[in-house]
Structure 1
Amino acid sequence: MVEDRYEQLHAAFRWQVPPDFNIAEACCGRWARETPNATAIYFDSESGCRAQYSYAQLQRAANRLSNALLNQGVRRGHRVAIVLPQRFETAVAHIALQQIGAVAMPLSMLFGAEALAYRLQDSGAVLAIAACEALPALREVKAQCPALRRVLVVGDCPAEGDELHWMEALQAEEARFKPVATRADDPAILIYTSGTTGNPKGALIPHRALIGNLTGFIASQNWFGFDPFDASRPSDAVFWSPADWAWTGGLMDALLPTLYFGRPIVAWQGRFSAAKAFELMATYGVTHSFLFPTALKAMMKAEPRPRRHGLKLRALMSAGEAVGDAVFAWCRDALGVPVNEMFGQTEMNYVVGNCQALWPARPGSMGRAYPGHRVAVIDDEGRECPPGSVGEVAVHARDRHGAPDPVFFLGYWNNDAATRAKFTGDPADSWCRTGDLARMDADGTLWYEGRADDVFKSAGYRIGPGEIENCLLKHPAVANAAVVPKPDPERGALVKAYVVLADGHAGDTALVEALQAHVKARLAPYEYPKEIEFIDALPMTTTGKVQRRVLRLREAERAARAA
């Protein structure tokens, strides 16, 4: 049985944030000097192209790019868009930008012209580094973005007009560069969050936020290959995650922390599939991974005997949605690796979760605050709720010892009102709201209740979709499910489930009745879905989260038409 070292860790933990800190130096520069031949990136792709890059190669390429960017007029504080998939050049771009004190703005390859235009205009980005696949949309909006001076093209496609090709730009530069000195509080990354209402907001992330992420990364990855009592012990750790490096989950939970510890990460440029996930983990000897619940669900449905692949997986983290006990049990029993659930946001990432190496996990829970973070459940007035009560998860700007928590963002780009609304008071000494609902046990364990706008009432009962969705998932006919309210004049709302069928099953009346009986037998009577609609695929965000808001709006529009 795992000894519970939770309180011991929290009591002894103190943040050590140097006044001067730079992500590029921490994630590459020092390793290029100390372990230059160590592998930094394993690259693989759907086209069959494979490559392996050392920390020395990463540093040299970053130096050349830093020089090229300076020649293109990029200066300290300038925002530069990175529209790239998982590949070596993406890591190079981040290191190069941090070295010159610029602000990296990762953007998803899935963004259309309108999404790109808004972010480029709002940020005032002066340059974009883009893959061939992103060029059509980027070229369409470039004229609408007056601050955008140049596009740097990555890939096997020709540059057009005033665009500059990656290879041409780097080959003309020296492989030596003297990085600028940055303060820990200086801005490093600008990530736009997709809120439930209004335009996306740009969360400005400082260099120090990477340090704030590390306790969660180390804990959720069961010390990331280190002996917990001997951090200097060599490790054969290899990391992989399908999480897009354009998002917090891929950048701050995978790429940068892996490089911070001088380990290799697998860059897979291609679509996710359960078969490919097992293949990549076996081929590269992946020991640590971050997999969204949607990915784990697909893998669970596709492979009842995952150990036959000869996996070396030692630790697994998941976030974005509640894993649920069905997936939790599969990871533990079939995969042989208990999953550490984690919770965080772009604004303050990696703050809550599990570490089954150092304290026992409670299946289905979000976990407890990681060392260095003070987390509570608060009410609408910002007061801490008693144990067992549902409220909004909040993170305090200071840890339990009164020291500033380095994990926090600097604020929303050009949006002071939204920044103030995120906190209950002074951003330097108050609670930061997450918009997620949970209840907290007396020992600090959090239990997710859904987004504030996902929870609804039916006939006076408070309904959280997660528990019902998890129950439906346990039925062999269900590949995925989302639960939303359907407006009803008598009850206020009915529980409705959208269900994606597993292969070989037909969505008929008999299955609807079977699924309703399945939920009735396992949950409270008021929780079973009064209506079930079969759907080919659920609407998802690019980070793998179910967009229940889209389904809620669909139901509201249908009700309005019926009325």
Structure 2
Amino acid sequence: MAASQGRDTPRNAQRPAGYAALHSQFRWEVPQHFNMAQVCSRRWAELQDATKRVAIRAYSSGASDTFYTYSQLQEQANRLSNALAKLGVQRGDRVGIVLPQRFETAVAYMAVLQLGAVAMPLSMLFGPEALEFRLQDSEAVVAICDAGSLPALASVRQTCPQLRAVLGVGLQDADAALLTGPQDARFETVLHAQSAVFALVNTLAEEPAVLIYTSGTTGNPKGALIPHRALIGNLSGFVASQNWFGFDGKKNRSSKAVFWSPADWAWTGGLMDALLPTLYFGRPIVAYHGRFSPQTALELMRDCGVTHTFLFPTALKAMMKAYPGTKSQSVRQQFKLQLDAIMSAGEAVGDAVFGYCEQQLGVRPNEMFGQTEMNYIVGNCNLHYPSKPGSMGMGYPGHRVAVIDEAGNECPVGVPGDVALHRFDVHGQPDPIFFLGYWKNQKATDAKFTGDWCRTGDLAVRDADGYLWYQGRSDDVFKAAGYRIGPGEIENCLVKHPAVINAAVVPKPDPERGALVKAYVVIAPDFIAACADDTGARARLHAQLTLDLQAHVKGQLAPYEYPKEIEFVDSLPMTTTGKVQRRVLRLQEEARARGLAA
């Protein structure tokens, strides 16, 4: 298998015998010039079947679906590129995309990328504060949103002076009233006025394509700048984790592949693990903008003939509880599923979920691990090497992965260390998966590397067979229900409330979600003075403040970031230099969880 521009079949069609053969036969093919939009849309639109080849299937539960072809995708992308150029967007400029899974979202990415500009995904879940920081820090010049995200965007418009225009998708008249800038406009109106012809900007593979902000342990999120070549670096992991998506060798199998994932296209998992690689192979991806439910997920996969998917363990657990199957009929039989592969990431897939996927959904899941900075580097591929339930897997073809110590030396079998990726693969070729660096933060970029090893900050041990087993974070970032949570941003938000003098956010172990967001809060003296000697009054204050602070965070950040539990304390554990010792609180929560389980 080789990863190359425009190539839809492996260099050697004969399947390798196992894991070692995958690595020994694999070679990177990275051209000097490469553009994500060219390989994901334009090249398919130039084929004779472009008007029939489906790119996006917009799924509506209980209603008729809408199919969009690669021809339509490219035509609309061309119109939007021309519109953005007229707004003054130039090569390298950042364009915010605040849209859910829908056809126009794919159009926006293709338009920005083929223009040579940088697409900045922004979640629909972001509140005003989260949007404001990212728009200001990135110096975004245009933002594209829909009715769901427009109010939050409009509320911070005046504090983002670089933002010269907002384009609103599918707005009603009442929504359009929030388009107050002189160059703001409705998305559809702007596109209708533009030409359907646009000349691709011939970007270098090394040029920036996407800017994704990641949560940090302290302070504000960091913007990871992703180059066009990173899509090539993503492909070996995507293909392997999806059991040879696009060219698995079965008769007519590649032509029937249909992808869907509930992962938000504004996150690395939705953009780089779902939307872009599916379009790279010229296959259809299902877009569904709605709340996840086990019933909807199973009905969607049935109705759309989904063959490949990416499902978080949390989603799989919910499906397992809602639809356990029966002795006489599996869930696969009940919903007439056609699944060929399930990739899962975000947290470990336990034995129960692994067994459910195998027995009820008819597919052994492939667990995967990666980061925004270098995504899709470790995982499983049951088609070519057996997965071990609970293991992260092994480095995917083209990626030299190891567990290293503080000095950058590889750890022996069974010894915990930092999961790291080498700049060069086993053949000495540069690995194209790497990010370019953190936006305007060279210090943080340098700290990510030890020599040629790029550290993930995740601890693991390697077993005798080479499989990696996750041990936890080396810093304070944690995952809750599949979402990566950075305590710094939440703490900053909490402290802005007048009742809070200090706060620390840590994970609280939870059997369903892996972890819950918990905050330890020190209340400002003025708020507790009136009830200092009254136990009942203090309890009422704590109860009311818990609700107020949860609503405060929900209104400013993403809903999944608000603390599900708040514990009020007189002080926080601190280091001699004045830093909060989150580790002390985290260990306390783990000890409490063990005590409850005993």
Q: Does 1:315 align with 2:330?
A: no
Letter in 2 for 1:313: L
Q: Does 1:300 align with 2:333?
A: no
Counterpart for residue 467 of structure 2: 445
> Of 383, 386, 394, which aligns to 2:412?
386
Q: Does 1:16 align with 2:26?
A: no
Per-residue deviation at 1:410?
Answer: 0.2
Q: Deviations over 1:411-468 (max 9, x none)?
A: 000000000000013xxxx100111111012332101112224699xxxxxxxxxxx9
SS class of match (1:366): coil
Contact 2:368 / 2:378 at 8 angstroms: preserved in 1?
A: yes
Counterpart for residue 515 of structure 2: 482
Separation in 1, partners of 2:514, 2:22: 38
SS class of match (2:101): coil
Counterpart for residue 180 of structure 2: 161
Separation in 1, partners of 2:477, 2:102: 38
Counterpart for residue 183 of structure 1: 204
SS class of match (1:195): coil
Counterpart for residue 38 of structure 1: 53
Q: Which residues of structure 1 form unaligned runs of 5+? A: 457-467, 474-478, 488-535
Separation in 2, partners of 1:130, 1:545: 19
Contact 1:423 / 1:433 at 8 angstroms: preserved in 2?
A: yes
Counterpart for residue 250 of structure 1: 270
Counterpart for residue 454 of structure 2: 432
Q: Deviations over 1:170-204 (max 9, x none)?
A: 00011111111010000000000012222100000
Counterpart for residue 368 of structure 2: 342
Per-residue deviation at 1:226?
Answer: 2.4
Separation in 2, partners of 1:381, 1:138: 45
Counterpart for residue 326 of structure 1: 352
Aligned CA distance change for structure 1 residues 286 and 42 (closer, same or farther; 3 Å)? same
Per-residue deviation at 1:402?
Answer: 1.1
Contact 1:78 / 1:102 at 8 angstroms: preserved in 2?
A: yes
Separation in 1, partners of 2:191, 2:285: 23
SS class of match (2:157): helix
Counterpart for residue 260 of structure 1: 280
Counterpart for residue 141 of structure 2: 126
Separation in 2, partners of 1:113, 1:46: 30
SS class of match (1:139): helix
SS class of match (1:147): coil
TM-score (norm 2): 0.76
Contact 1:482 / 1:546 at 8 angstroms: preserved in 2?
A: no
Q: Which residues of structure 2 form unaligned runs of 5+? A: 1-14, 326-330, 479-507, 521-549, 574-584, 586-598
SS class of match (2:283): coil
SS class of match (2:27): coil
SS class of match (2:126): coil
Contact 1:320 / 1:544 at 8 angstroms: preserved in 2?
A: no
Contact 1:320 / 1:545 at 8 angstroms: preserved in 2?
A: no
Separation in 2, partners of 1:15, 1:55: 27
SS class of match (1:77): coil
Aligned CA distance change for structure 1 residues 138 and 454 (closer, same or farther; 3 Å)? closer
Aligned CA distance change for structure 1 residues 225 and 402 (closer, same or farther; 3 Å)? closer
SS class of match (1:271): coil
Q: Deviations over 1:297-335 (max 9, x none)?
A: 111111112221111111000001111111111111111
Counterpart for residue 141 of structure 1: 156
Letter in 2 for 1:381: A
> Of 110, 128, 132, which aligns to 2:125?
110
Letter in 2 for 1:176: V
Counterpart for residue 285 of structure 1: 305
Aligned CA distance change for structure 1 residues 226 and 545 (closer, same or farther; 3 Å)? farther
Q: Does 1:209 align with 2:230?
A: yes
Contact 1:422 / 1:432 at 8 angstroms: preserved in 2?
A: yes
Separation in 2, partners of 1:486, 1:151: 35
Separation in 2, partners of 1:28, 1:3: 30
Q: Deviations over 1:105-144 (max 9, x none)?
A: 0100011111000000000000000111111111111110
* Structure 1 segment 83-94 matched on structure 2, within 5 A: 83-94=98-109
SS class of match (2:124): coil
Counterpart for residue 476 of structure 1: none
Per-residue deviation at 1:235?
Answer: 2.2
Letter in 1 for 2:344: S
SS class of match (1:235): helix
Counterpart for residue 511 of structure 1: none
Separation in 2, partners of 1:401, 1:71: 45
Per-residue deviation at 1:161?
Answer: 2.3
Aligned CA distance change for structure 1 residues 48 and 116 (closer, same or farther; 3 Å)? farther
Letter in 2 for 1:292: F
* Structure 1 segment 379-528 matched on structure 2, within 5 A: 379-425=405-451, 430-453=452-475, 473=511, 479-480=512-513, 482=515
Per-residue deviation at 1:24?
Answer: 0.6
Contact 1:255 / 1:265 at 8 angstroms: preserved in 2?
A: yes
Q: Deviations over 1:485-509 (max 9, x none)?
A: 999xxxxxxxxxxxxxxxxxxxxxx
Separation in 1, partners of 2:112, 2:516: 42
Letter in 1 for 2:41: C
SS class of match (1:182): coil
* Structure 1 segment 526-541 matched on structure 2, within 5 A: none
Separation in 2, partners of 1:226, 1:101: 30
Between stretches 380-389 and 92-101, larger displacement belongs to 380-389
Contact 1:3 / 1:359 at 8 angstroms: preserved in 2?
A: no
Letter in 1 for 2:324: P
SS class of match (1:263): coil
Between stretches 339-348 and 268-277, larger displacement belongs to 268-277
Contact 1:244 / 1:543 at 8 angstroms: preserved in 2?
A: no
Separation in 1, partners of 2:477, 2:187: 47
Aligned CA distance change for structure 1 residues 23 and 480 (closer, same or farther; 3 Å)? closer
Letter in 1 for 2:389: P
Separation in 2, partners of 1:250, 1:543: 20
Counterpart for residue 490 of structure 2: none
Q: Deviations over 1:270-319 (max 9, x none)?
A: 11111110011011000000001111111111111222111111100000
Per-residue deviation at 1:50?
Answer: 3.2
Per-residue deviation at 1:550?
Answer: 5.7
Contact 1:344 / 1:352 at 8 angstroms: preserved in 2?
A: yes
Q: Deviations over 1:67-120 (max 9, x none)?
A: 111111111110000000000000000000111100000100011111000000
CA RMSD of aligned residues (A): 3.1
Separation in 2, partners of 1:455, 1:71: 41
SS class of match (1:382): coil
Aligned CA distance change for structure 1 residues 273 and 99 (closer, same or farther; 3 Å)? same
Contact 1:46 / 1:270 at 8 angstroms: preserved in 2?
A: no
Contact 1:65 / 1:96 at 8 angstroms: preserved in 2?
A: yes
Counterpart for residue 42 of structure 2: 29
Between stretches 159-168 and 335-344, larger displacement belongs to 159-168
Aligned CA distance change for structure 1 residues 62 and 453 (closer, same or farther; 3 Å)? same
